[in-house]
Every structure is written in structure tokens, then in C-alpha cells.
Amino acid sequence: MPEMSLPRINELIIILYAFSVLFFFIDFIHNNRKANKIAFWLLSIVWLLQTIFLFYQMFETGRFPVLNISEGLYFYSWVLVTLSVVLNRFLKADFIIFFTNVLGFIMLSIHTFAPSQYESAAVSGQLISELLFIHITMAILSYGAFTLSFVFSILYLIQYNLLKKKKWGKQLIRIDDLAKLDHMSYVLNVIGVPMLLLSLILGMIWAYLKIPNFHWYDAKVTGSFMMLLVYGYYLYSRIVKEWHGKQVAYYNAAAFLILLINFFLFGSLSRFHIWDS
């Protein structure tokens, strides 16, 4: 294969793998069989592409490609994907499958974007820049999901207040019913949380590769993980504690304020500017 085609294939695998993890997460917390089927087929495509790439490496090198860290990471991720396909096909183990794929995604991301001794400096630099691009894109998409979720929560609180005061005007008619508003707010957070998680994984890899003396206690990093915990607790409260309605709408609104603080305040306090490549 041409020198630049291999990175393109690995980047395609990363994107497909990210969507697979997203749908596995939806199935994991919501027991959505349709999401599980989509996730399984995406994972199957990932496994097929990885297998083709693995055999291509074997053909090119004339040996089994596990003799350095980069090759070992790729084979490790392939093993995890293979196990996930088998488990999903024959066992009902959603918890194990989801977290196995998160680990597999981490290993494959490190293999794909870490500079390799077999790649030129130009290719390695481009891969790191593309890693940053994917990280930022996924982060912004997750922020978009959280923002829409916040809007639905605010509409829920407005609708709730109108109903409580028995104001049966045009405003009430133009806003959806409470159950739908509550559900849409929840669904958008279900989408946003795994996207934020995958974005943070890619961001950590980029930071270790690009930033000298990178520290975990950087304001931006701390704020991002705090966001993940806050929205993760939102899902925990909905699923385990069975929070619904006004209580969870207020919590979601407060979570969005933390998002804004992280984006504007913590971003300005960060020791590195995450938008630079």
C-alpha cells in the first residue's frame, strides 16, 4: 500500500470504532437492541479492516508483527476487538463488552497516532495534527449534545411552571409535553457522555505526544474530567436512582453551567492552548 494510505485506513478504523463504542454505550445503559446491532456491525467492520491490515503487515515484514511496542499495541487492540465480537455474538455481557471496547479504542489510538520509527517526521507530524482535529471535533460534538440537552431541560422547567400555574396559552401549546422533553434531554446526554470520554482519551494521547512536561492537574484537563464525572452522575441518577422530571432538569442545568466554566474559565487558565496543533 502507498505510504499515506495506511494512516488513512487506521483513521477510518478509529472513526468507525468510536461510533461502535458510542452505540455500545447506548445499549449498555438503555438496553437498546437496535443500538447493539449497529454497534456490532460497526465493530465487525473494524475487525475486518484490522485483520486485513494485520495480514498485510505479515506479508510485508515476513513475520508475525509483534516485535515492537507499536506492533504489540495493534495486535493487542485486535485481540480485544476479536473478543468483543465473540462475546457480543454468543454472550449477553454488555458491561464487559463496552469497557473492553473502550480499552481497545485506547490501544488502537495510541498505535495509530504515536510516532513510529518506520514513519517519516512529516507523516508523524500530520498524524498528530489529525489526532488533535479528531479530538476537538468529538469534544465540540459532545458539547453540542450537552447544550441541546440543557435547552430541553429549560423547556421542561418552563412547561412545568406553566402547567403548575395553569396557564393554558399559546406558549403551552408550542412546547412539547413534559415526558418528551425529559426523554430528549436524557437521550442527548447519553450521546454526549461517551463522545466526551473518547475525546478525552484522544486528548490525553495528543498531550503526551505533543506537550513537554504535560501534567494531569492542568486546569483544562481537570475541568474536562470534572465535566465527565458530573454528566456521568446525571446518567447514574437517571438509571439507578431513577431521577426524573424537575429534579433532574435542575441538575442538568447546573451541569451545563460547569460546562461553560470549563470552556471559558478553565480554558483560559490552562498552561497549554488546546486549539493549537
Q: What is the mean pLDDT of residues 234-256?
A: 90
The answer to whether residue 125 scores a pLDDT higher than 70 is: no
The answer to whether residue 4 scores a pLDDT higher than 50 is: no
The answer to whether residue 102 scores a pLDDT higher than 80 is: yes
Lowest mean pLDDT among 39-48, 97-106, 206-215, 268-277: 268-277
147 against 58, higher pLDDT: 147
Going from the C-alpha of 200 to that of each of 69, 132, 148, 254, the distances in angstroms are: 22, 11, 20, 21
The answer to whether residue 247 scores a pLDDT higher than 60 is: yes
**pLDDT attached to residue 257:** 92
Q: What is the mean pLDDT of residues 72-77?
A: 77
Q: Which amino acid is at 165?
A: K
Mean pLDDT for the chain? 78
The neighbour count for residue 194, using CB atoms within 10 Å, is 23
Is residue 169 very low, low, confident or very high in pLDDT (cuts 50, 70, 90)?
low
The answer to whether residue 3 scores a pLDDT higher than 60 is: no
Percent of the chain with pLDDT over 90: 15
Choose among 56, 33, 223: nearest CA to 143.
223
Contacts 24+ apart (CB under 8 A), 26-35: 26/190, 26/191, 26/194, 27/94, 28/94, 28/95, 28/97, 28/98, 29/190, 29/235, 29/239, 30/190, 31/94
pTM: 0.69
The answer to whether residue 126 scores a pLDDT higher than 60 is: no
Q: What is the pLDDT of residues 174-229, one digit of tens each?
A: 455 778 888 889 988 998 998 899 888 888 877 777 766 666 666 777 888 899 99
Q: What DSSP string describes 180-196?
A: HHHHHHHHHHHHHHHHH
**pLDDT attached to residue 216:** 63
231 against 152, higher pLDDT: 231
Q: Please state the length of the chain.
A: 277
Residues whose CB is less than 8 angstroms from the CB of residue 101 and which lie 6 or more positions away in sequence, other chains included: 17, 20, 21, 24, 43, 80, 81, 84
Lowest mean pLDDT among 129-138, 210-219, 264-273: 264-273
Q: What is the mean pLDDT of residues 18-46?
A: 87
**pLDDT attached to residue 117:** 43
